[in-house]
Amino acid sequence: MTTCFALDLKDDPALIAEYEHWHRNVWPEVLEHLRAQGITRCTIHRAGNRLFMITESSTGAATDGGGAMLPPRVQEWEELMEKFQQPLPFAQVGEKWVRMERIFEWRYS
């Protein structure tokens, strides 16, 4: 199952560069947490200060554990990332990554 999410970064080139640096060096505990959630692939793409995250899993798992308590090191990562992130204008209170709705799909077979 493929799931897509969107989030904005603060529109500051230095913060965006630092965010990208952290994502070239993601902590092993964060990657292990993704695997433990059933996520088999996770990519993040950027257009300006808007991020798109695409995850693949057999269950539609959330990267944040779906509201469950996060391991301490993963919680530390999430708190670090908040320095760079800002919610989308239509996000619910406390919501970071907003799940996107698929409105079109085409496959050539």
pLDDT in tens, 51-95: 999 999 987 766 665 567 899 999 999 999 999 999 999 999 989
The token duo for 43 is 């990519």
Residue 50 DSSP code: E
What pLDDT, on the 0 to 100 scale, is given for residue 64?
Answer: 62
Q: What is the pLDDT of residue 59?
A: 79
If you average pLDDT over every residue of the chain, what do you get?
A: 93
Q: pLDDT tier at 29 (50, 70, 90 boundaries)?
A: very high
Average pLDDT for residues 96-106, to the nearest whole number? Answer: 95
So where are the chain's domains?
2-99
* 54 vs 4: CA distance, rounded Å: 4
Answer yes or no: are the C-beta atoms of 50 and 41 closer than 8 Å. no
Looking up tokens 């990208």, which residue turns up?
20
Evaluate whether the domain defined by 2-99 bears CATH number 3.30.70.1090: yes
Take residue 54 and report the two structure tokens written for it.
Answer: 């695409």
